[in-house]
């Protein structure tokens, strides 16, 4: 009997205890790739993370101890695989610099997928209020390209769990039932995706030569909606028309500036993501 996994690229995933990283590891194993996860020592003593690690280990993921701050552990892990996928949080995106150096030194990686998984950083700018959110990701792209490391960039727009449960209403955890704020004229469309779908899509690219050294965009037609369309669907569902307040681009900019001065817990990043709907 032929072992399908012997024909598949070996994949190292960094960030397997995160939401997307966990889904990436499951998708990789599910697609019969020999799968490895780089895990910090501290994760094994964290109850929530250790539960995920046990699940992945039982599923067939090989867990390797190491960190993005330890070049030796990075090189050791990288030499075991063909592909590296990084899914660390966006605020730590520059921590990939040592990883890129390790990939270059190891010299065996045929594909690197850096931690992006959002809007295309080369095409996104949010009024200089994003704390260099996109410029840092673009900086990592330029470093990868300068080192001539084979890559694929995954651009998947918005994860559903961040904005869709509240119908793009900052501070709410469920859709509004009385009044709603519309940003701009409500006609700009956004793409909403699930992490599990993004993970499956990402894993499908690793052995596909068509995706080498390209930015790929995940835009399922059934996942593309404007705010007006989302509101119409919700109003139909609850059998009630909501009171709507429209916020102009300039008004939203002022609100974002106010949020920057007095941040609301749990709303980090929501302001400039919502700005994309104006």
Selection from 113, 115, 104, 102 nearest residue 15 by Cα: 115
The pLDDT score that the predictor gives to residue 162 is: 78
- Domains defined along the chain, listed by start: 11-159+193-217 (3.40.50.720), 164-189+224-276 (3.90.25.10)
Residue written as token pair 């209020």: 129
* pLDDT higher at 135 or 68: 68
State the Cα torsion 179-181-186-191 to the nearest 10°: -100
pLDDT of 142 > 60? The answer is yes
Output the pTM of the full model: 0.86
**Mean local confidence (pLDDT), 47-76:** 95
At 212-249, the pLDDT tens digits run 999 999 998 999 999 999 999 999 999 999 999 998 87
The whole-number average pLDDT for the span 199-221 is: 95
Tokens standing for residue 66 = 């190491």
**pLDDT band at residue 275 using 50, 70 and 90 as cut-offs:** very low
Question: Cβ neighbours of residue 127 under 8 Å, at least 6 residues apart?
Answer: 253, 256, 272, 275
Q: Which pLDDT band holds residue 5 (cuts at 50, 70, 90)?
A: low
Average pLDDT score over residue span 183-192? 88
Give residue 123's pLDDT: 86
CA-CA distance, 46 to 42, in Å (whole number)?
Answer: 7
Is it the case that residue 88 has pLDDT exceeding 50? yes
Q: Is 137 in the active site? A: yes
Of 12-16, 52-56, 116-120, 256-260, the range with the lowest mean pLDDT is: 256-260
User: What is residue 2's predicted lDDT score, i.e. its pLDDT?
Assistant: 44
The C-alpha atoms of residue 89 and residue 194 are separated, in whole angstroms, by 16
Write down the H helix ranges in 108-182: 133-146, 160-163
Return the CA Rg of the chain: 20
Q: Which of 137, 194, 214, 257 is catalytic?
A: 137
Which percentage of the chain shows pLDDT scores above 70?
87
Q: Is the pLDDT of residue 268 over 50?
A: no
Contacts of 14 (CB under 8 A, 6+ apart): 21, 37, 38, 68, 84, 85, 86, 87, 88, 99
**What is the pLDDT confidence band of residue 278, given thresholds at 50, 70 and 90?**
very low
The distance of Cα 131 from the centroid of its chain, to the nearest Å, equals: 17
């Amino acid at each position: 009997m032929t072992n399908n996994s012997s024909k598949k690229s070996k994949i190292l995933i960094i960030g397997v205890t995160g939401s997307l990283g966990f889904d990436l590891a499951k998708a990789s194993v599910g697609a019969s790739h020999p799968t490895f996860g780089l895990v910090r020592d501290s994760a094994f003593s964290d109850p929530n993370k250790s539960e995920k690690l046990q699940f992945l280990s039982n599923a067939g993921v090989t867990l390797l101890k190491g960190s993005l701050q330890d070049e030796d552990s990075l090189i050791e892990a990288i030499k075991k695989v063909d592909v590296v996928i990084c899914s660390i949080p966006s605020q730590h995106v520059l921590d990939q610099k040592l990883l890129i150096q390790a990939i270059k030194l190891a010299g065996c990686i045929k594909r690197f997928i850096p931690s992006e998984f959002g809007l295309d950083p080369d095409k996104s700018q949010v009024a200089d209020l994003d704390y260099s959110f996109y410029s840092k990701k673009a900086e990592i792209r330029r470093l990868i390209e300068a080192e001539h490391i084979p890559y694929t960039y995954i651009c998947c727009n918005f994860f559903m769990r961040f904005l869709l449960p509240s119908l793009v209403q900052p501070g709410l955890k469920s859709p509004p039932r009385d009044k709603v704020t519309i940003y701009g004229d409500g006609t700009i469309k956004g793409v909403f995706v699930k992490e599990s779908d993004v993970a499956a899509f990402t894993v499908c690219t690793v052995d596909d030569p068509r995706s080498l050294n390209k930015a790929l965009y995940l835009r399922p037609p059934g996942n593309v909606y404007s705010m007006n369309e989302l509101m119409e669907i919700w109003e139909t569902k609850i059998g009630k028309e909501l009171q709507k307040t429209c916020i102009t681009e300039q008004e939203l900019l002022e609100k974002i500036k106010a949020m920057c001065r007095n941040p609301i817990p749990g709303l980090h990043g929501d302001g400039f993501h919502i700005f994309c709907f104006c």
